[in-house]
């Protein structure tokens, strides 16, 4: 039977980073990826990279570097206020670059190799009917895998969707507009001669994907952008935290739900958790808990919401009731009117108290994400506090 010191499942930014770091230290590492090698990297994604990832990605891959313009309920604020800079990359370019890097240091990356099952007790994965043994396993198969369920892991899926449009945009823009697009945000991420325009939603609200897309299409139509002929894509995002390390198994990236549940940003978290997993395997004395907490600390807006939720004992409420209430706010005439009113008042107060009001505004948008997944939040609390 084939056997390796480390087997990694999935060649996303997380798996490829772990493979590279392990190979650098001459570890015997096999990465199994279900896609063919020339498609490694292809993924539905806005491709936005905040500054903290730039050291790991050559700037030649950047399609542009932007200071995003943030529209809060009709008020425009550049992200300079928040000190934010974001580069855009095409995911296929990033994936192919990371693949070359991992292979350069000696990692074996095997395309067309889906893992169908993991025998945790026997330390074996099943790939194309063959058993492959391991000493350590890194699960980096993203959000999109039945494998997570087969591993007995909880998943809580939200949906991200975008339109790949062949048009040049000068600015990177982010839109919050509760009245027009509901409790979510939308983006325009320029990639040179094309752009990703998108948003996301939580299916458990009883919202239908097609209606959500219509809202976004109409919103951009009003801004003179026709998305009718753009390429529509969507992908799940797992926000149910399970664990990082259990015995000789490490979960990284989306598989562990390290992506930010509020913004959907996950490339940095995948790469960083891949690096931490590699360090923990290389050096048994490596203290991984703190760096892993730091990956979570980037979920900055979650923390105050957690405390607020705890303070008001929202956790005692039934999640279903909360979802119903949120559905009502968005969809019924009176609910929508209340939401519009709150939106109007908050947008006005932004002019007077920009810092505090924008916190309230963002909380208003993000609270549902937090509340709808209370089980997840309880798990986050273990690592946050």
Task: Give contact residues for ligand FAD (rule: CB under 6 A).
Answer: 9-15, 32-35, 43-48, 114-115, 140-142, 144-145, 147, 160-162, 198, 235, 237, 253-255, 259, 264-268, 270
Whole-number minimum distance, CB 234 to ligand FAD, in Å? 7
Nearer to ligand FAD, 113 or 343 (CB): 113
Nearer to ligand FAD, 263 or 343 (CB): 263
Whole-number minimum distance, CB 195 to ligand FAD, in Å? 12
Whole-number minimum distance, CB 277 to ligand FAD, in Å? 11
Q: Is the dihedral of CA 61, 63, 69, 70 positive or negative?
A: negative
Nearer to ligand FAD, 147 or 280 (CB): 147
- Among candidate residues 17, 19, 14, the one with its CA nearest the CA of residue 4: 19
Whole-number minimum distance, CB 42 to ligand FAD, in Å? 8
91 neighbors 71 (Cβ within 8 angstroms): no
Whole-number minimum distance, CB 268 to ligand FAD, in Å? 6
Nearer to ligand FAD, 15 or 73 (CB): 15
Whole-number minimum distance, CB 199 to ligand FAD, in Å? 8
Nearer to ligand FAD, 89 or 314 (CB): 89
Nearer to ligand FAD, 32 or 292 (CB): 32
Nearer to ligand FAD, 43 or 215 (CB): 43
Whole-number minimum distance, CB 163 to ligand FAD, in Å? 10
Whole-number minimum distance, CB 93 to ligand FAD, in Å? 14
SS3 of the chain:
CEEEEEEEECCCHHHHHHHHHHHHCCCCEEEECCCCHHHCCCCCCCCEEEHHHHHHCCHHHCCEEECCEEEECCEEEEHHHHCCCEEECCHHHHHHHHHHHHHHCCCEEECCCCEEEEECCCCEEEECCEEEEEEEEEECCCCCCHHHHHCCCCCCEEEEEEEEECCCCCCCEEEECHHHHCCCEEEEEEECCEEEEEEEECHHHCCCHHHHHHHHHHHHHHCCCCCCCCEEEEEEEECCCCCCEECCEEECHHHHCCCCCCCCCCHHHHHHHHHHHHHHHHCCCCCCHHHHHHHHHCCCCHHHHHHHHHHCCHHHCCHHHHHHHHHHHHHCHHHHHHHHHHHHHHHHHHHHCHHHHHHHHHHHHHHHHHHHCHHHHHHHHHHHC
Nearer to ligand FAD, 30 or 339 (CB): 30
Nearer to ligand FAD, 199 or 370 (CB): 199
Whole-number minimum distance, CB 320 to ligand FAD, in Å? 25
**Rounded-to-integer distance, Cα 339 and Cα 327, Å:** 11
Nearer to ligand FAD, 118 or 305 (CB): 118
Whole-number minimum distance, CB 139 to ligand FAD, in Å? 9
**Rounded-to-integer distance, Cα 65 and Cα 50, Å:** 9
């Amino acid at each position: 039977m084939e056997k390796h010191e480390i087997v990694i499942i999935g060649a996303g930014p997380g798996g490829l980073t772990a493979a590279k770091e392990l190979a650098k230290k001459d570890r015997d590492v096999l990465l199994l990826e279900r896609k063919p090698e020339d498609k490694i990297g292809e993924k539905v994604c806005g491709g936005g990279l905040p500054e903290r990832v730039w050291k790991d990605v050559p700037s030649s891959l950047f399609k542009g570097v932007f200071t995003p313009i943030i529209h809060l309920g009709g008020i425009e604020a550049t992200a300079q206020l928040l000190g934010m800079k974001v580069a855009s990359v095409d995911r296929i370019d990033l994936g192919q670059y990371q693949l070359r890097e991992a292979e350069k240091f000696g990692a074996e990356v095997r395309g067309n190799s889906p893992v169908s099952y993991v025998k945790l007790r026997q330390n074996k994965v099943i790939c194309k009917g063959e058993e492959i043994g391991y000493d350590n396993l890194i699960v980096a198969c993203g959000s999109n895998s039945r494998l997570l369920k087969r591993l007995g892991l909880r998943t809580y899926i939200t949906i991200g969707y975008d339109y790949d449009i062949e048009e040049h945009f000068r600015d990177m823009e982010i839109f919050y507009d509760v009245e027009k697009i509901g409790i979510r945000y939308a983006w325009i991420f320029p990639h040179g001669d094309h752009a990703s325009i998108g948003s996301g939603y939580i299916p458990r609200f009883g919202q239908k994907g097609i209606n959500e897309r219509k809202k976004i299409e109409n919103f951009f139509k009003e801004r003179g952008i026709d998305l009718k002929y753009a390429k529509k894509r969507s992908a799940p995002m797992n926000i149910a935290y399970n664990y990082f390390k259990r015995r000789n198994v490490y979960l990284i990236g989306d598989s562990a739900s390290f992506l930010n549940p509020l913004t959907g940003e996950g490339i940095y978290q995948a790469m960083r958790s891949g690096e931490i997993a590699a360090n923990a395997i290389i050096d048994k004395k490596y203290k991984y808990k703190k760096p892993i907490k730091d990956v979570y600390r980037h979920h900055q807006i979650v923390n105050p919401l957690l405390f607020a939720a705890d303070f008001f004992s929202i956790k005692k409420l039934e999640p279903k009731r909360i979802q119903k209430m949120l559905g009502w706010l968005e969809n019924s005439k009176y609910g929508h009117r209340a939401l519009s009113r709150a939106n109007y008042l908050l947008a006005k107060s932004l002019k007077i108290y920009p810092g505090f009001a924008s916190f309230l505004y963002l909380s208003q948008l993000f609270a549902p994400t937090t509340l709808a997944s209370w089980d997840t939040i309880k798990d986050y609390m273990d690592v946050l506090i």
